[in-house]
Structure 1
Amino acid sequence: MAHFVTLVNEELKKANDLCLATIVKRSGSAPRSSGASMLVLADGSIKGTIGGGKLEGDVQQEACRCLQEEQTKLLHFSLRGKDVSDSEMLCGGNVDVFLEPVKAADSAARDIYQAAAHLAQKGGQGLLLTPALPGPIKTQKGRKLLLALDKEPVGSLDGFPEVNSEILPKLEEYIKERPFGIHDLKLPSGQNLPCLWEAVLADPTVYLFGAGHVSLQVAKLVKMVGFKLVVMDDRKDFANRERFTQADEIWVNNYQDVLTGKDLGEDAYLVILTRGHMYDKEVLSQAIKQNAKYVGMIGSSRKRKAIYGALLDEGVSQKTLDKVYSPIGEPIKAETPEEIAVSIVAELIKVRAGG
């Protein structure tokens, strides 16, 4: 969502009209899950994907019509039986796609997506609410609302003046428990409105400790699959912009105190790939004190046993060490730096998806 709202904001800044296409419901097997989005520009070109194939082509054509007619629509697709006999998408499921035109001249739309993009880029958390009803649309004014933690709401929902006071007190809980979906707004007034809820969160960050040959390959892949990237090493000849052009940040520091005073947060993925056992131990001893989503360390079972043994002697619990992913990566018998990178990033994707 962070990447997507940023993309929408960039297109609106370029004065490009567009239509948002979002999978709002999926049952059975389908190429993408609920929440997958793409945008369709006025010339028919697309950015993002909802799965490719005939489904995406049909949505692309219908989105262009929605943009011309200034209409929101809810499309239903069956990916089974005779409905897909002429296509390659024999998935066996059903998909609902919500189409919503957004005009670059609409100041309300520009304000909403600029605020959402800024929120995502700065590491904030928010919830974007949009009525999920088909019908005419001239402007996003009164039909889109961005609620964010510790910030003033942007936009509004016509006819639902109580929505801010009802949702804001539970916003953090809602973001965690229902980050995406269509939910009825049930207010004291007795009104109900089917509304699309979309959590706006910053992309999670991968921290690579060690800037050697494996990290070079991991860096390429983590950016490709939607993570932010921080690269760290104690050698500026290795940790620099010439080697890691895609990095969001580069740290040159001593391993012994690299995380001193830092709180990387719950969406941090710490990947330990230093050049030596002692450096790995130094970073791991600090990494396990973070409230990170993922901590992984490269190396053999023998190396892990030696490092774990030293940390146990220092008072670290076995329960804490059991949470570390080591040896790192999915077990695909990887050998080359490129293969090892694939196995590591596959594991990161798995954890991000709740595996």
Structure 2
Amino acid sequence: SPGNFKSFASEIVRAYRGELSVALATVVNSPVGRPKLGSKLLIREDGTVQGSFDNSKLETETIAIGKTLAIHGGNRYFKTIDDTEIFVEGFTSPPTLVLIGGGHVNRAVSRLASLLGFRIYVVDDRLEFSNKERFPEAETIVISDYSRGLGKAPVNSNTYIVVATRGHRYDDLALAAAIRTPARYIGLLGSKRKTLEIYKNLLKGKAPPERLQEVHAPIGLDIGAITPEEIAVSIMAEIIMVRNGGNGTPMKMNIANLNTISY
């Protein structure tokens, strides 16, 4: 109906603004007449939908494809066993990475993230650590104190924040600002002891415990990283895991007895 199309358009515009991510599926050929030619299904990143194909099996298959395209963008065409043809298009903004702190680790994270297609924003209060020479990949560099600098970056549900400043006091300020945003991911660099100390301070300042529980701290996956570059791999691996809905476990097969395999 026209009302549905208007609602679809409204959500697609919001996706381009970075407020959400959606995919739109359209029936482009329907030899059996069901679903109707031109039927549309709006699929949100969380799997909720608007519209209907009047075919639950087809909707389930389409939703699975749509959720992936909502996150990553792009489009896909597929055909079912009865020759029904569906075109699915994703609408999203590029993922944004906000690096709070211009130290060695975030410098390495910036290089790696640029290869992975992230828009990069850097926030630091020191010009010598926050400049195009250190961060040539950054779209925007903000020289500001940590509590206010985050407000100059576009933070939405497709934003990932890495807090790695030069000390506890600054991490407190940066994390306090980060948890007030709708960012999809917030990570804090540092030891467990440092993390607990910062959480204690923030809880005293009435930070919402449920939002603090969503912070990835200490940041990254445990790969035994030591150098800034290795730590960057650990951090970006965790961010990709969160973005794609992975679980971070090794993909190695557990084969109990290789002797049972015939070759």
TM-score after normalising by structure 1: 0.50
Alignment of 1:323-338 (within 5 A): 323-338=214-229
| Alpha-carbon distance between aligned partners in 2 of 1:132 and 1:345, rounded to the nearest angstrom | 38
The corresponding residue for 1:290 is 181
For residues 152-182 of structure 1, the C-alpha deviation after alignment (integer angstroms, 9 at most, x for no partner) is: xxxxxxx95xx4xx54xx64xx243332466
2:97 and 2:118 in contact (8 A); partners too? yes
* Displacement after TM superposition at 1:226 (Å): 2.1
* Displacement after TM superposition at 1:258 (Å): 2.0
2:225 and 2:234 in contact (8 A); partners too? yes
The corresponding residue for 1:198 is 89
* Displacement after TM superposition at 1:184 (Å): 8.1
| Structure with greater proportional strand content | 1
* Displacement after TM superposition at 1:313 (Å): 1.0
| Structure with greater proportional helix content | 2
* Displacement after TM superposition at 1:127 (Å): 4.4
* Displacement after TM superposition at 1:210 (Å): 0.6
Q: What letter matches 2:210 in structure 1?
A: K
* Displacement after TM superposition at 1:253 (Å): 1.1
Moved more, 311-320 or 123-132: 123-132
Alignment of 1:175-254 (within 5 A): 175-176=44-45, 177=47, 178=63, 179=66, 180=69, 193-254=84-145
* Displacement after TM superposition at 1:306 (Å): 0.9
Counterpart among 223, 236, 240 of residue 345 in structure 1 = 236
Counterpart among 249, 256, 274 of residue 147 in structure 2 = 256
Aligned partner of residue 351 in structure 1, secondary structure: helix
* Displacement after TM superposition at 1:296 (Å): 0.4
| Alpha-carbon distance between aligned partners in 1 of 2:117 and 2:85, rounded to the nearest angstrom | 30
The corresponding residue for 2:168 is 277
Counterpart among 242, 245, 258 of residue 354 in structure 1 = 245
| Alpha-carbon distance between aligned partners in 2 of 1:129 and 1:320, rounded to the nearest angstrom | 33
What's the C-alpha RMSD, in Å, of the aligned pairs?
Answer: 3.1
| Alpha-carbon distance between aligned partners in 1 of 2:100 and 2:88, rounded to the nearest angstrom | 36
* Displacement after TM superposition at 1:337 (Å): 0.7
| Alpha-carbon distance between aligned partners in 2 of 1:315 and 1:175, rounded to the nearest angstrom | 33
| Alpha-carbon distance between aligned partners in 2 of 1:120 and 1:248, rounded to the nearest angstrom | 20
* Displacement after TM superposition at 1:259 (Å): 3.0
| Alpha-carbon distance between aligned partners in 1 of 2:206 and 2:136, rounded to the nearest angstrom | 39
Aligned partner of residue 202 in structure 1, secondary structure: coil
Closer/same/farther in 2, CA of residues 319 and 244 from structure 1, 3 Å limit? same
| Alpha-carbon distance between aligned partners in 2 of 1:297 and 1:335, rounded to the nearest angstrom | 16
* Displacement after TM superposition at 1:234 (Å): 1.0
Specify every segment of 5 or more residues in structure 1 that has no aligned partner in the other structure, as ranges: 1-118, 134-158, 186-191
Q: What letter matches 2:218 in structure 1?
A: P
| Alpha-carbon distance between aligned partners in 2 of 1:336 and 1:212, rounded to the nearest angstrom | 13
TM-score after normalising by structure 2: 0.66
Q: What letter matches 1:228 in structure 2?
A: R
Report whether the alignment pairs 1:268 with 2:159. Answer: yes
Q: Which has the larger radius of gyration?
A: 1
Q: What letter matches 1:322 in structure 2?
A: Q
| Alpha-carbon distance between aligned partners in 1 of 2:121 and 2:93, rounded to the nearest angstrom | 14
The corresponding residue for 1:63 is none
The corresponding residue for 1:299 is 190
For residues 297-340 of structure 1, the C-alpha deviation after alignment (integer angstroms, 9 at most, x for no partner) is: 00011111111111111112433221110011111121111111
1:297 and 1:328 in contact (8 A); partners too? yes
Structure 1 outlier segments of 4+, above 4 Å: 119-133, 180-185, 260-263
* Displacement after TM superposition at 1:204 (Å): 1.0
Q: Which has the higher contact order (CA 8 A, sep 6+)?
A: 2
Aligned partner of residue 193 in structure 2, secondary structure: helix
* Displacement after TM superposition at 1:231 (Å): 1.2
Aligned partner of residue 240 in structure 2, secondary structure: helix
2:18 and 2:157 in contact (8 A); partners too? no
Specify every segment of 5 or more residues in structure 2 that has no aligned partner in the other structure, as ranges: 1-13, 30-35, 48-62, 70-75, 247-263
| Alpha-carbon distance between aligned partners in 2 of 1:239 and 1:261, rounded to the nearest angstrom | 14
Q: Give the percent of matched residue pairs that are identical in Structure 1 and Structure 2.
A: 38
* Displacement after TM superposition at 1:129 (Å): 5.8
